[in-house]
Structures are given as structure tokens and as C-alpha cells.
Amino acid sequence: MTDETSSTVVTFIVRLVCDDARRVRGTVERVRTGEKRVFTGADGIGGVIEQMLRNDNDRQRRGRAREDA
């Protein structure tokens, strides 16, 4: 991320479960907002976090656009 929000620190809690078949699943929670997303597979963690950050950046941009109007 290279825009002006890239320096913002965001904290996540990741909860994982590995079942007997060695499948990973869990939730990612954004601490400040309490937003939670479910993922499956270890590769899903990064995608969930990336989407949460993108959604936050989109909300911030919409808020700025309203302020400018």
C-alpha cells in the first residue's frame, strides 16, 4: 500500500484451529472495530487481512469525499 494511510498501525487478533485432518480454519478480528472475518486454510489469513485493510481504506476515502463536498 502506498497511499497516505499506509503509515497507520492496525492491530489484528488471529484465532486458529487445526483439526485432526490438519485443516486450518479460524477468524481474524480487527481490534479497533471488532470486525471479524472467517478464513479457511493458512493461505486465507493474508487475503482476509488484505481485504479488511482495503475496505477500511475505501471507507476513509468515502468519508473524505463527503467532507470535500
Q: Decide if 1 is inside a domain.
A: no
Q: Decide if 2 is inside a domain.
A: no
Report the distance separating Cα 13 and Cα 29, nearest Å.
Answer: 5
Q: Decide if 58 is inside a domain.
A: yes
Q: Decide if 16 is inside a domain.
A: yes
Q: Decide if 3 is inside a domain.
A: no
Q: Decide if 59 is inside a domain.
A: yes
**16: region left, alpha or beta (phi > 0 left; psi from -120 to 50 alpha):** beta
User: For the chain, percent helix, then strand, then coil, each to nearest 5?
Assistant: 40, 30, 30
**Residue-range definition of the domain harbouring residue 36:** 8-68
Q: What is the pLDDT along the chain (69 residues), one digit of tens a residue?
A: 455 555 678 999 999 999 999 999 999 999 999 999 999 999 999 999 999 998 877 677 777 666 666
State the pTM of this model: 0.71
Total domains in the chain come to 1
Q: Decide if 46 is inside a domain.
A: yes
